[in-house]
Each structure stands twice: as structure tokens, then as C-alpha cells.
């Protein structure tokens, strides 16, 4: 990962860089990377730009192979990659353009608390959350489901949770796709995937997944903050998790199965990890049906995690979550492929949008948004590392015009997990975080050092790029108070 990428980058403006489609014979479109000069140094120390160029080989790709400022090396696609393919022109879907943690995503809740009111209870809250929310590799949840119920979750998503008492209708309205994308087919999911997902509903998982208690420390748009019911010093909760073992197994099953499609459909790509099939093909339709199952499972998972979070707050503060004002602002997916309509050369087209480590960022008035967000644009939630900041932004019309309604999804790694483990002293890191008022609880020591703040780019730099490029707009910034990790 440390080898310098020396390919050609042409500056478009202060926040966009182009890889010409003449860079590699076979590129159908250019690559465009959103970054400033500072972030470009980190990006060049990774081979992710090469993956941006490789994605430009995909049949049916439209306009450009895109990369967000949190870009880093991934499987097939770089993490932070966005690509749209034209379904009517032989456009493909690639499991590598979604990734293994299907619908890894994030949700943000507000509370009615001010930091000053609960600052002496943060440690108690962290312990209560850690005890209430199952975390860690292979963690199994309190919310157990039968095989029949599991199949229902794969089609109903968050709706299943609400029907079973793990939330309210308002939660669904504040979730992308209302918490369940249509077209999921449980029959497209392997027995092995079912087995891996069976006991993981309402579990956090490991790696970069987390549950954080945060406080708003900076407002950027007073009017939007007022609309969302937010103010400086207000306590928030952010939940970051995905489809766990079920999604991983679905990706694994279909990645291997799609390699033969390269020859079958005469597709030429420079990396077998870009295995793909035309969206209209039987293979692609089966993958999309299974991927949607994993996406729905992930929305249900985060809904259950929010239910458990509300219960933990109730236990600590002795009052109902409703009285504590613990309402969902939004939940958005990071790793997903979706069929969406966009204007291409003046014609409206059905495109397959791959967002891998990228967040949907629809602007004001978009028909997919609930009425409450029609004027503001879609809430965009960008988590950072556990030592710095996270952000709430909103989507923009410019994102719809330039990036197929997409923006960054987080800070983006600059060190591998192994490198971070080698260079981080656990005791020193915990003391440093505690000195800044950040309490951390994890099921394993390894996760903390793997996820040390210096393993990531500074999310403030990343968000500056997408804000200044106009593909999302800052609303407010949070800093962590308490962190639960797997």
C-alpha cells in the first residue's frame, strides 16, 4: 500500500483531478478523483487511483469512474468509488463495486440532552451501551429470530423490526428506501449465508463498526440545524454497522460465481476482482436479488441496534426514550448498487449506480426523499475516527448532476489494520483519548489499535473537499464522547 502511484493526474479545479482515458487502452471513460492537494499526497501513496482507472473498463459505464476524497484500496473497486452503468447499453453490475459488507451504513439520532446535563454520566452510559449491544467478531444478538422470521427480515428490512416492537413508523420514514429495498429474493441467498446471519440481528460487529455518543461542537448552517432540531452542545448518537456475516457470504458467493461471466459475455477488464455481468442477465439479476436481501438485513440490524441503544439510555436515565427526544434523523447506506434515473446527454436513463464506500446525497426536491427533507435535501452522515469528528451534511443538486447523487462516506484509511497495530501503543492511545474526554469500550484490544485515529485521514479535510466541491453541504459537526467498538 505504501508504493507511490505515479500515473498521470490532470487538475480540473482545486477539488477535482482527472485520469485521462488514454492512460490505459480499454478505458471507456476518464477517472475523476475528488481531492485537494493535501489529500492527494495520501491518495498517491495507495494504488487506489489504478483501481479508478480499471473501473473505467466496465461495459456501459457512463461519464466517468468516480472517486471520493476518502478513497483507498479495496476489492476490485477502490473504497470511495462510484460508477454508473447504462442498463440499456449493456451496462453491468459488479459485486466488487458494492463490496463484502453490503449496506454497511450509518444512522444518526438526536437526543434532548445537553452535554452539560450528562457529562458526569458518560462513562456509565458507555458501560450500559456496551452491556446492552452485542459487539465483536461473530457476536450474537439478544434479538433471536426463527428461520421463517429471517426470510421476512430479508424482504421487509426495518419494517419487520417496527412490526415486532423494535421501533416506530417515524424511524422508517427517516431511513433510505424506508428501510427495505424492493426486489429482494430470499431464494437467491445460500444456506451458508443464512447460517452466518441467523444470530446476528441487532449486533454491532467488529472492525470499523461502532456506536458513539457524540456532542455537536460546531454549527455551519443555523437554518438547517433549526429545521433538524439541532443545536450546539446537544448530545447525539451515531451507529455504524452493516449486514455482518450474511452480507459477506452473499458477496463471496456471487463474486466467485460471476468470474465465468467475463468469458460468457465477452467482457474485458484488467482485474478479475471486477467480475461482472450485464444487469439484464440472469446472473446479475440473481446477485441483485441477494444483495437487496443483505441490504434489508443491514437496515433491520441498525434498527435493532437503535432499539437497544434507546433501551440503554432508558436504563441509565430512568425515563422513556421518547421523553429523552431520541428520534432518528436519518439512516443511509454506504455499500450498495441501486437502479436510479439520471439525465445522460439530455435523455433520462435507468442506470445501475455502484456506491462502494460512498453515500447517497440527493438534493432538495428529489422524489425519493420523505416530505420532511424535500426542502433541505437528504441528510448525509459522515463518521470520522474515534478521536476526531463526525459530520451531518445534506445532499445537493450538484451531486445529482456530477456524481450520480453521491458523496464521501467517512475519513478513509491511510494505514492498514496490520500497520496500525504495529505502530500503536494501546495504553498510550486510551490515555490520550481519555484526556480529551473520550471513553472507549471494546470487546477486544486488537480492534482499538486497528482503529487508532492516525490510521485514518482527517475527516475534516475530507468533508472540506465535498463541501467546497458542492456535492454536499455542511450542517453541523460532532465530536465523540463515548465509543463502543467490536
Q: Which residues are catalytic?
A: 409
The answer to whether the CB of 85 falls within 8 A of the CB of 284 is no
3-state secondary structure of 325: coil
Which DSSP string do the residues of 350-394 spell out, in sequence order?
EEEEEEES-EE---TT-TTS-GGGTTT--EEEE---TTS-EEEEE
The helix or strand, by DSSP H or E, that contains position 472, with its residue range, turns out to be strand 472-485
**Angle in degrees, 0-180, between the axes of helices 122-132 and 282-317, rounded to the nearest 10:** 130
**Angle in degrees, 0-180, between the axes of helices 37-44 and 459-469, rounded to the nearest 10:** 120
Cα dihedral 136→141→142→148 (10° resolution): 180
The answer to whether the CB of 391 falls within 8 A of the CB of 477 is yes
The CA distance from 116 to 348, in Å, is 51
Q: Which residues of 242-258 are buried (b: 16+ CB within 10 A; e: fewer)?
A: bbbbbbbbbbbbbbeeb
The answer to whether the CB of 458 falls within 8 A of the CB of 388 is yes
Alpha helices in 189-344 (DSSP H): 191-197, 222-228, 244-264, 282-317
The answer to whether the CB of 353 falls within 8 A of the CB of 208 is no
The label of the residue with cell 451534511 reads 393
The CA distance from 470 to 85, in Å, is 23
CA distances for 237 relative to 158, 233, 241, 334, 394, angstroms: 18, 13, 13, 18, 18
Q: What is the 3-state secondary structure (H, E, C) of 60-126?
A: CECCCEEEEEEEECCCCCCEEEEEEEEHHHCCEECHHHCCCCCCCEEEEEEEEEEHHHHHHHHHHHH
3-state secondary structure of 288: helix
**Angle in degrees, 0-180, between the axes of helices 282-317 and 244-264, rounded to the nearest 10:** 160
| 421 contact partners, CB below 8 Å, separation of at least 6 | 446, 449, 450
The CA distance from 57 to 78, in Å, is 14
Amino acid at each position: 500500500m505504501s508504493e507511490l502511484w505515479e500515473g498521470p493526474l490532470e487538475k480540473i479545479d482545486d477539488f477535482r483531478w482527472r485520469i485521462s482515458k488514454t492512460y490505459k487502452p480499454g478505458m471507456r471513460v476518464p477517472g475523476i478523483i475528488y481531492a485537494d492537494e493535501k489529500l492527494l499526497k495520501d491518495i498517491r501513496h495507495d494504488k487506489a487511483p489504478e483501481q479508478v482507472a480499471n473501473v473505467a473498463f466496465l461495459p456501459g459505464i457512463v461519464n466517468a469512474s468516480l472517486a471520493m476524497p476518502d478513497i483507498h484500496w479495496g476489492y476490485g473497486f477502490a473504497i470511495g468509488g462510484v460508477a454508473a452503468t447504462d442498463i440499456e447499453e449493456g451496462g453491468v453490475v459488479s459485486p466488487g463495486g458494492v463490496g463484502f459488507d453490503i449496506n454497511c451504513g450509518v444512522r444518526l439520532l438526536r437526543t434532548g440532552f445537553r452535554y452539560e446535563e450528562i457529562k458526569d454520566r458518560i462513562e456509565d452510559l458507555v458501560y450500559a451501551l456496551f452491556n446492552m449491544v452485542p459487539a465483536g467478531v461473530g457476536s450474537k444478538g439478544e434479538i433471536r429470530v426463527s428461520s421463517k422470521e429471517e426470510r421476512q427480515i430479508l424482504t421487509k428490512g426495518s419494517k419487520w423490526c417496527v412490526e415486532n416492537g423494535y421501533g416506530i413508523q417515524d424511524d422508517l420514514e427517516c431511513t433510505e428506501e424506508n428501510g427495505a429495498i424492493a426486489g429482494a429474493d430470499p431464494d437467491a441467498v445460500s444456506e451458508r449465508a443464512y447460517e452466518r446471519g441467523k444470530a446476528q440481528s441487532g449486533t454491532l460487529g467488529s472492525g470499523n463498526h461502532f456506536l458513539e455518543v457524540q456532542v455537536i461542537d460546531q454549527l455551519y448552517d443555523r437554518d438547517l440545524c433549526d429545521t433538524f432540531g439541532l443545536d450546539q452542545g446537544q448530545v447525539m448518537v451515531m451507529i455504524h454497522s452493516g449486514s455482518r456475516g450474511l452480507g459477506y457470504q452473499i458477496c463471496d458467493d456471487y463474486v466467485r460465481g460471476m468470474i465465468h461471466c467475463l468469458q460468457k459475455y465477452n467482457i474485458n477488464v484488467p482485474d478479475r476482482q471486477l467480475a461482472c455481468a450485464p444487469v439484464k442477465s440472469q446472473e446479475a439479476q440473481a446477485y441483485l436479488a441477494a444483495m437487496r436481501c443483505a441490504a434489508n438485513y443491514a437496515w433491520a440490524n441498525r434498527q435493532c441496534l437503535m432499539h437497544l441503544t434507546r433501551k440503554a439510555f432508558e436504563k441509565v436515565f430512568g425515563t422513556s426514550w421518547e421523553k429523552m427526544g431520541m428520534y432518528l434523523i436519518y439512516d443511509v447506506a454506504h455499500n450498495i448498487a441501486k437502479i436510479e434515473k439520471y439525465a445522460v446527454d439530455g435523455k433520462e436513463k435507468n442506470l445501475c449506480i455502484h456506491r462502494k464506500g460512498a453515500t447517497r446525497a440527493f438534493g432538495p426536491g428529489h422524489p425519493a426523499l420523505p416530505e420532511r427533507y424535500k426542502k433541505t435535501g437528504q441528510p448525509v452522515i459522515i463518521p470520522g475516527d474515534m478521536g476526531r469528528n463526525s459530520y451531518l451534511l445534506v445532499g445537493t443538486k450538484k451531486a445529482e448532476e456530477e456524481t450520480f447523487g453521491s458523496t464521501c462516506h467517512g475519513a478513509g484509511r491511510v494505514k492498514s489494520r496490520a500497520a496500525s497495530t504495529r505502530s500503536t501503543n494501546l495504553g498510550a492511545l486510551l490515555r490520550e483519548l481519555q484526556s480529551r474526554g473520550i471513553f472507549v469500550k471494546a470487546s477486544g484490544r486488537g480492534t482499538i489499535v486497528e482503529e487508532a485515529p492516525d490510521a485514518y485521514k482527517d475527516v475534516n479535510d475530507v468533508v472540506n473537499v465535498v463541501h467546497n466541491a458542492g456535492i454536499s453541504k455542511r450542517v453541523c459537526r460532532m465530536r465523540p464522547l463515548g465509543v463502543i467498538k467490536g
